[in-house]
A = this chain, B = another copy of it.
């Protein structure tokens, strides 16, 4: 009864559901506190209290017809201006409210911009490992996803391969920094190199290649790492942002797109993206949450909590002999599997009540992703279990 395009999704879905059911089964059998579930990217740090206060103030002060009413499909003008001003003061950009479109989270923002720009057969390049849903988003508009293989030394993007894989059909390149699943932040050097490749290829083909920066983890950085703001390096950059992680509001579906004036075809892109936002069914981003963002644009979650988790898990695993690139952002570790088939590693980890996501789910087999957005106790209590796991695989303590 369902469309041909949806069939493979439903077939694959049972694997994800099985993993979910497995977690549930383990929790029921061993108790919540004895299961070490590192599989979910659901923020564990609560939203800042200013969010709660803003919600109460808004429903107390504002007229419900306005607060919960329709506005421009692009979002409330005052909220978009507030965000533009905030970005300008942080990054030295020159955005106006008109450059922003409020979206139902970053996932919807990516769909909106891909619907806006893709004709059937257009290619969109991604760097493995990557969030597999990018493939679904691109195929929603009959685009073709082109993968660049991972540089497993640094997990910075493989730019030599990028240069080879850009064709006259390349419409966009997606980057995600800080990065899911590795936690890596793309350095300024990397960005400059990436931009030089894009500039060269734009000229070579006489085409526009948009750089789509998917950056829900922008605010989640540690060790003072800097995350370059990409519109400043490459004018055909489009930013997709979400407050899911920065304010711990993933269920609320609130984010935005930035389409700068300097992007080729900016006016037409903005007009089309606002319409795409409407006709894909979002219509507009949730209104109360837009207004909350307007009041909490400078709020932050407590990063110390993630940082403590990061250090405890990274150091603990390194000590046990696991290999892993040190993450500077997001809330993930991407750990090398001691055996080539990382699914086997994940399977055996379950014996110790440890749940991880195989790298295959990010187009990067041989690795596993651990999301450390869990309680500190979970991390500390998991380490003896990881010790057993390390021993089972014959790892040597560092």
* A interface list, Cβ under 8 A from B: 1-6, 9-10, 13, 40, 42-47, 51-52, 55-56, 59-60, 63-65, 67-71, 103-105, 107-112, 115-119, 133, 136-137, 140-141, 208, 248-253, 264-265, 268-269, 271-272, 275-276, 278-289
Contacts and interface: CB of A to CB of B under 8 A. Distances in A.
5 contacts: A52-B64, A68-B250, A69-B250, A108-B282, A108-B283
Contact of A59 (B40, B52, B108, B110): B52
* Chain copies in complex: 2
A47 B64 contact: yes
A122 to B, nearest CB: 8
Contacts of A282: 104-105, 107-108, 253, 281-282
A13 B271 CA distance: 8
A2 B251 contact: no
A251 B10 contact: no
A257 B275 CA distance: 23
Nearest first, the 9 closest Cβ-Cβ pairs linking A and B are A251-B287, A1-B265, A108-B281, A111-B281, A136-B279, A107-B281, A46-B64, A2-B272, A6-B272
Contact of A68 (B3, B141, B249, B283): B249
Nearest to A41: B70
Contacts of A271: 10, 13
Contacts of A10: 268, 271-272, 275
A3 B111 contact: no
Contacts of A275: 6, 9-10, 13
A208 B1 contact: yes
A6 B272 CA distance: 6
Contacts of A69: 42-43, 248, 250-251
B70 A51 contact: no
Nearest to A11: B271
A228 to B, nearest CB: 24
Interface centre among A67, A68, A268 (most CB of B within 10 A): A68
A357 to B, nearest CB: 15
Nearest to A12: B275
Nearest to A108: B281
B2 A281 contact: no
Contacts of A70: 40, 42, 250-251
A79 to B, nearest CB: 12
Nearest to A58: B55
A280 B280 contact: yes
A46 B63 CA distance: 8
Contacts of A110: 281
Contacts of A265: 1-2
A286 B109 contact: no
Nearest to A139: B279
A381 B189 CA distance: 66
Given A43-B65, A265-B1, A107 B283 contact: yes
A2 B299 CA distance: 35
A279 to B, nearest CB: 4
B68 A281 contact: no
A253 B279 CA distance: 13
A269 B64 contact: no
A56 B52 CA distance: 9
A281 B279 contact: no
A65 B251 CA distance: 9
